[in-house]
């Protein structure tokens, strides 16, 4: 049974390689408190070629990033971008 599950996963991964790229991710960010905070985060991420759209929700402390087709940003780079903006990245939801 485990072999069947493993083979199915492998086939799906090979058949749909784009599935390995996140279309959207959510970042849980600590320290954002105002519209200026949101604007700074949005501006920083919009500079990236991979980013299609970005929305910041100050009430929940979440940043939703939509990527262009076949594009992504690695976790380490996301961490650095948030830290360089003056905030703390608590969680990445892919």
Q: Residue 19 — pLDDT band, cuts 50, 70, 90?
A: very low
CATH of the domain at 75: 3.30.70.100
In a domain, 7, yes or no: no
In a domain, 10, yes or no: no
> Of 51 and 2, which is predicted with more confidence?
51
In a domain, 50, yes or no: yes
Enclosing domain of residue 41: 20-93
> Of 41 and 15, which is predicted with more confidence?
41
Q: What is the spatial distance between Cα 60 and Cα 63, in angstroms, rounded to a whole number?
A: 9
In a domain, 11, yes or no: no
Instruction: Give the number of domains in the chain.
Output: 1
Q: Of 80, 63, 76, which is closest to residue 24 (Cα–Cα)?
A: 63
pLDDT tens digits, one per residue of 72-83: 999 999 999 999
**CB contact at 8 A, 25 and 65:** yes
In a domain, 78, yes or no: yes
In a domain, 12, yes or no: no
With 60 as the cut, is the pLDDT of residue 33 above it? yes
In a domain, 2, yes or no: no
Say whether 14 sits in a helix, a strand or coil. helix
């Amino acid at each position: 049974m485990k072999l069947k599950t493993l083979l199915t996963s492998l086939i799906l991964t090979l058949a749909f390689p784009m599935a390995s790229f996140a279309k959207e991710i959510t970042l849980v960010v600590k320290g954002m408190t105002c519209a200026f905070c949101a604007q700074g985060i949005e501006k920083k991420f919009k500079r990236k070629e991979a980013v299609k759209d970005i929305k910041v929700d100050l009430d929940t402390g979440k940043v939703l990033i939509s990527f262009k087709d076949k594009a992504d940003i690695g976790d380490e780079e996301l961490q650095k971008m948030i830290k360089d903006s003056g905030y703390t990245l608590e969680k990445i939801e892919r």
